[in-house]
Amino acid sequence: MTSTMTTPETISAALSLDGVSKSYGDNLAVRDVTAQIPAGKVSVIVGPSGCGKSTLLRMISGLDTPTDGGVEFNGTPVRGVPDGLAMVFQDYSRSLFPWMRVDKNVAFPLKHLDAAERTQRVQEAIEAVGLGGKEKLYPWQMSGGMQQRVAIARALARHPALLLMDEPYASVDAQTRAELEDLLLTIQARLGITVLVVTHDIDESVYLADRIIVLSKPPSVVAEVIDVDLPRPRDQILTKEDPVFVETRAHVTSLLRGVEVPATGNR
């Protein structure tokens, strides 16, 4: 699939989706999705409600199997949850254990490590998301944004090679959302992990992404793959004033409306 914004570079793909389809009975949820998710970059899947974004993530994470086609992670077919994968979901209240303090929540997936290493990873991850000093709080003593930071810390503590995020900021207010977007970009730049975010928020997709995969209305196909040529580090004000941001946002919007508006090609 080509882009009218920039031609996607030849990449070392962390994830390859090859003709992935998924049916639930007669309902064709995902139709023939082919895309490459570059290693060490932020990719975003954006698409209208019900187009199969979460279904795609479940297949990528090995929690569900395609009806047709396949997913490869670092060249190996995905069958079951791959090593090195961590996931963050929209609903932090369901992913955190309310009876466990922050440090225990973050430590939960690290049971296989020895105590010293576990403690070190937990502390590093909590610091990375800016929650140093909050280790002994319970989730219900924290704001929604803080709880989502805990969920991100828990994912990071596993030292993932691939971080999948399903609408991670849909349940927080706009200010917190902007802070968490920037937190993700800072951590990704520092650790160089491959990140794949699913969102229906067009601004968020352009702000975060090196690559946007735009899905069509259901049954979804890839409408377009767009490589976003915006400098990093990104800035909530300056980046959003950049003509490339404005143009890309308009283009993604037009794709999601099903109206072809070609890019003006200013890069």
Ligand X SMILES: Nc1ncnc2c1ncn2[C@@H]1O[C@H](COP(=O)(O)OP(=O)(O)OP(=O)(O)O)[C@@H](O)[C@H]1O
What stretches of the chain show up as alpha helix (H) in DSSP?
Answer: 53-60, 92-95, 102-107, 115-128, 144-157, 174-191, 202-208, 238-241, 243-256
What does the block give as tokens for 96? Answer: 């955190």
C-beta of 54 vs 123, nearer to ligand X: 54
Q: Could you say which of 6, 16, 43, 55 contacts ligand X (CB under 6 A)?
A: 55
What does the block give as tokens for 138? Answer: 């319970």
Q: Going residue by residue from 231 to 250, which x/- string records binding to ligand X, judged by CB under 6 A?
A: --------------------
The answer to whether residue 254 forms part of the interface with ligand X (CB under 6 A) is: no
Least separation in angstroms between residue 133's CB and ligand X is 35
C-beta of 4 vs 54, nearer to ligand X: 54
Cβ atoms 137, 164 nearer than 8 A: no
Q: Could you say which of 37, 44, 46, 53 contacts ligand X (CB under 6 A)?
A: 53
The answer to whether residue 213 forms part of the interface with ligand X (CB under 6 A) is: no
Distance CA 216, CA 224 (A): 9
Distance CA 199, CA 181 (A): 12
Cβ atoms 212, 228 nearer than 8 A: yes
C-beta of 21 vs 55, nearer to ligand X: 55
C-beta of 25 vs 262, nearer to ligand X: 25
Q: By the criterion CB under 6 A, which residues form the site for ligand X?
A: 24, 27, 29, 47, 49-55, 200
